[in-house]
Amino acid sequence: DARVTQTPRHKVTEMGQEVTMRCQPILGHNTVFWYRQTMMQGLELLAYFRNRAPLDDSGMPKDRFSAEMPDATLATLKIQPSEPRDSAVYFCASGLFPDSNEQFFGPGTRLTVL
Amino acid sequence: QKEVEQNSGPLSVPEGAIASLNCTYSDRGSQSFFWYRQYSGKSPELIMSIYSNGDKEDGRFTAQLNKASQYVSLLIRDSQPSDSATYLCAGGLYNFNKFYFGSGTKLNVKP
């Protein structure tokens, strides 16, 4: 499929709960990105993978966030425990490097932590 | 100083006019630059990519890059109300190291 898909599209949870967001990159793309967007901070890069290997996760709070790619068609972003300040829209994007360094975004997961 | 800076706007232009959006970046080593359009409540959509000094045209859109002055611009000709959105500028190294998005410029095209 020529689109990035993300699930769930919306998630409301309570502080302290675990949240898992999933992303299916465009078939054949080898680079996957996780971003977080808030009104205050804008779009921030959390982590990215190439050929399923993590290349940079310096933008991610290490104590509560983790990102993995169990296989080439699935990327996950987990928050445990979640906090109200994690409320944001989380986007996944994918691309095919080095042919191109353009990124294509999924529809996002809107997370609200109460 | 942010790595990629944009005026937050809003920029208001009448329908049919040229909209000019600007972006500056701080890292002289940046190699790749992109413009994304984001409608309210939607995800960013890639409009243009530019890698070399000069202009790059695609339909009503023209991206301009000036590495000496460290700025990137996007011109939208014959602006339409459907162009009303937030435009995000992004740039960094080709391999995505030191890759940043600007905070976006909100464009309003008035009928």
d(CA A63, nearest CA chain B) in Å = 23
Q: What is the pLDDT of residues A47-59, one digit of tens each?
A: 999 999 999 888 8
Please identify which residue in the block is written with the tokens 């070399």.
Answer: B52
What DSSP state is assigned to residue B16? T
Disruptive mutation site among B46, B96, B99, B106 for chain A (greatest number of A CBs within 10 Å): B96
d(CA B104, CA B89): 7
Per-residue model confidence (pLDDT) at position A1 = 59
* A91 token code pair: 């986007």
The number of angstroms, rounded, from the C-alpha of A72 to the middle of its chain's C-alpha atoms is 14
Q: What is the pLDDT of residues B10-19, one digit of tens each?
A: 999 999 999 9
CB–CB contact A45 B46 (8 Å): no
Checking if the pLDDT of A70 tops 90, the result is yes
d(CA B85, CA B104): 10
Per-residue model confidence (pLDDT) at position B80 = 97
SS3 state of residue B10: coil
* pLDDT average, residue stretch B70-86: 97
Using the Cβ of B58 and the Cβ atoms of chain A, whether some distance falls under 8 Å is answered with no
Comparing alpha-carbon positions, the chain A residue that sits nearest to B32 is A101
- Give contacts of A36 with chain B, Cβ < 8 Å: none
d(CA A103, nearest CA chain B) in Å = 8
SS3 state of residue A86: helix
